[in-house]
Amino acid sequence: MPERRIILASSSPRRKELLSLTGLKFTVDAGDYEEILTSSVPPRSLARRLSLGKAETVSRRYGNALIIAADTFITFRGNLLGKPHTPKEAGRMLRLLGGKTHSVITGFTVLDTASGKRRSRSVETRVRFRKLTPSEIRAYVRTGEPLDKAGGYAIQGIGSLLVREIEGDYFNVIGLPLAALAETLRDFGVFVLG
C-alpha cells in the first residue's frame, strides 16, 4: 500500500511555514471551500465547522491521505472579525481593538481519507493590544500588512508592536496551534517528535 500523504488544505503561507516547523513532509492543496462567518453559531463551534468544510472539500481528491485544514478569526465583544480587504476596513478593526483584549480562535481538522476518521478541535488565545494612536494605526495600515490577516494584524510581523500581552498559544494567533495539532496527529499515528 502506498504511503499516506499529508495535505495541508490552506492557501495561507503562514500555515505552510508553521507546519514546516514540525518537520513533516506535506503538500498544499487549498481547495475552494467558501468560508462564511456567521454569529448564529458559537465561535469555537464555527471555527471547527469551517475547518471541517475545508478538509472535506480537499479530501475528495485523495484516496490515502491525511488532510489538515484550519480556519482562524477573531471575536471581540460578540462580533466576529475576519480579514479586512481594504485599508479603511483594516483601520476600523484596529481602532476597535486598540487598548482592549480580544480572542483569536483557530479551528482545525485532521481527516484520514482512507478510513474516514476525522477530528476537529478549536483553540482560543487571548490577545491584549496596547492603546494605539490614530497616527500609529494609519502608519501600520500603510505598510499593507493588515490586509488579508484576521483582525487586521500579523503578530509575527510589524503587528507585534501593537500587542501588550497574550494568554495562550502564540502559534494559534498566527493561524495554526502546533501543540494541539501535534497531539491530534498522534491519534492518527503521526508522531511529530518520534
Beta-carbon contacts of 139 under 8 Å, excluding residues fewer than 6 positions away, are none
Count the Cβ atoms, other than its own, within 10 Å of residue 97.
Answer: 22
**Shortest CA distance to 31 belongs to which of 4, 54, 14, 53?**
54
Exactly one of 29, 32, 71, 112 is catalytic; name it.
Answer: 71
User: How many angstroms separate the CA atoms of 18 and 10, rounded?
Assistant: 12
The answer to whether the beta carbons of residues 9 and 67 sit under 8 Å apart is yes
For residue 80, which phi and psi values (nearest 5 degrees)?
-95, 130
Q: What angle do CA 72, 55, 166 make, to 5 degrees?
A: 20
| DSSP single-letter state for residue 194 | -
Active site residue 71: yes
- Tell me how far apart the alpha carbons of residues 133 and 57 are, in angstroms, rounded to a whole number: 42
Catalytic residues: 71
